[in-house]
């Protein structure tokens, strides 16, 4: 049996759509009441060990979607608990959605690398999907204001953005054929890069790109009601893109998909 965690999230929803109708798939979420799904649903909360002992019973392959919202110690604790519970329940193989190697400058890289290390030491069979940053995330971080200006502090930086739908499809291909992917680490970044000016053009002639500073973005985020841990996460994302660390294209996405990746601009802005 295959269990997909985080099934109400944006990535989990897309994965669940691909797997709908299969009789060997179970969806896991913290709140099963929110899921009107065609597959059976179990309550899975990495912060609640009881839910994991029951939820992982009879599971052979676990698609562990990262639960990266929180301080590093909160995220590593929940990922560690999930891996321990999977091993105790007899799960054979974990597929983990991690972060591209080029993301090592991002503030949220640490819990991903910690989880990868923990998986390697777990004695379980595993595959790591090192996802690039979503095209949809970039579009949200660099959305135009009401007066048609994109002020995200991306400078001339560009991102090898990847459509979330492509990452979902790649994850599905791996979970359905885990023996072919044992011990593999896949770099799943886009094949095109996107910058602030491209986003402005994609929105139409009424939108301009006028990048601000990191200090301005930090102040804006802090005043927006974002949680404290989110402010460095987001400013660090702008900074890494602006500094040119997130622009490496290529990787393994085309191989896993068996086709060219979707256009990141179409995925993010359309």
If binding is defined by CB under 6 A, does position 96 make contact with ligand NAP? no
Under the criterion CB under 6 A, does residue 6 sit at the interface with ligand NAP? yes
43 binds ligand NAP (CB under 6 A): no
Nearer to ligand NAP, 9 or 211 (CB): 9
CB of 100 to ligand NAP, least distance (A): 8
Query: Is 7 one of the binding residues for ligand NAP (CB under 6 A)?
Result: yes
Among 19, 25, 41, 46, binds ligand NAP (CB under 6 A): 46
Q: How many CA atoms lie within 13 A of 49 on its CB side?
A: 8
CA dihedral over 203, 204, 208, 209, signed as positive or negative: positive
Q: Is 178 in the site for ligand NAP (CB under 6 A)?
A: no
Find the Cα–Cα–Cα–Cα dihedral 175, 177, 182, 185, rounded to 10°: -60
* Alpha-carbon distances of 213 from 90, 143, 235, 270, rounded to whole Å: 50, 15, 10, 27
Tell me which of 2, 4, 12, 247 binds ligand NAP, using CB under 6 A.
Answer: 12
Closest CA to 92 of 23, 172, 170, 178: 178
Binding segment for ligand NAP (CB under 6 A), chosen from 54-62, 133-141, 174-182, 240-248, is 133-141
**What is the Cα gyration radius of the chain?**
19
Q: Which of 2, 3, 4, 8 binds ligand NAP (CB under 6 A)?
A: 8
Binding segment toward ligand NAP, per CB under 6 A, in 113-121, 132-140, 147-155, 225-233: 132-140
* Shortest reach from residue 80's CB to ligand NAP, in Å: 12
To the nearest whole angstrom, how small is the minimum distance from the Cβ of residue 67 to ligand NAP? 3
Closest CA to 102 of 245, 228, 227, 235: 245
For the bound state, the minimum distance from the C-beta of residue 14 to ligand NAP, rounded and expressed in Å, comes to 8
Tokens linked to 182: 């044992």
Binding of ligand NAP at residue 30 (CB under 6 A)?
A: yes
Long-range contacts of 58-61 (CB under 8 A, 24+ apart): 58/1, 59/1, 59/2, 59/3, 59/26, 59/86, 59/89, 59/90, 59/91, 60/1, 60/2, 60/91, 60/92, 60/93, 61/1, 61/2, 61/3, 61/91, 61/92, 61/93, 61/94, 61/95, 61/175, 61/178
> Contact region for ligand NAP (CB under 6 A) — 129-137, 238-246, 249-257, 261-269?
129-137
Our CB check for ligand NAP shows the closer of 68 and 261 to be: 68
Could you say whether residue 39 binds ligand NAP (CB under 6 A)? no
Residues 52-71 that bind ligand NAP (CB under 6 A): 65-69
Would you call 59 helix, strand, or coil by DSSP? coil
Angstrom distance (rounded) from CA 4 to CA 185: 19
Residue 98 contacts ligand NAP per CB under 6 A:
no
Binding site for ligand NAP (CB under 6 A): 5-12, 29-30, 44-47, 65-69, 78, 97, 131, 133-134, 137
């Amino acid at each position: 049996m295959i269990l997909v965690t985080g099934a109400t999230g944006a990535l989990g929803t897309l994965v669940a759509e691909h797997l709908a109708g299969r009789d060997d798939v179970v969806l896991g979420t913290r709140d099963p009441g929110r899921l009107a799904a065609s597959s059976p649903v179990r309550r899975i909360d990495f912060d609640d060990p009881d839910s994991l002992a029951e939820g992982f019973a009879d599971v052979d392959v676990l698609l562990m979607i990262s639960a990266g919202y929180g301080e590093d110690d909160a995220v590593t604790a929940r990922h560690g608990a999930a891996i321990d519970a999977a091993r105790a329940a007899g799960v054979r193989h974990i597929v983990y959605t991690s972060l591209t190697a080029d993301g090592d400058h991002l503030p949220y890289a640490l819990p991903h690398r910690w989880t990868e290390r923990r998986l390697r030491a777990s004695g379980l069979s595993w595959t790591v999907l090192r996802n690039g940053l979503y095209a949809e995330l970039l579009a949200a971080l660099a959305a135009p204001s009401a007066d048609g200006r994109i002020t995200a502090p991306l400078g001339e930086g560009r991102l090898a953005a990847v459509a979330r739908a492509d990452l979902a499809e790649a994850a599905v291909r791996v979970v359905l054929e885990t023996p072919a992917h044992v011990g593999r680490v896949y770099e799943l970044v886009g094949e095109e890069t996107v910058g602030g000016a491209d986003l402005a053009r994609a929105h139409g002639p009424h939108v301009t790109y006028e990048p601000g500073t990191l200090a301005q973005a930090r102040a804006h985020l802090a005043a927006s009601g974002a949680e404290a841990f989110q402010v460095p996460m987001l400013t660090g994302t702008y900074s890494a893109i602006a500094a040119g660390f997130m622009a490496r294209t290529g990787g393994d996405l085309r191989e896993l998909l068996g086709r060219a990746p979707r256009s990141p601009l179409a995925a993010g802005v359309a």
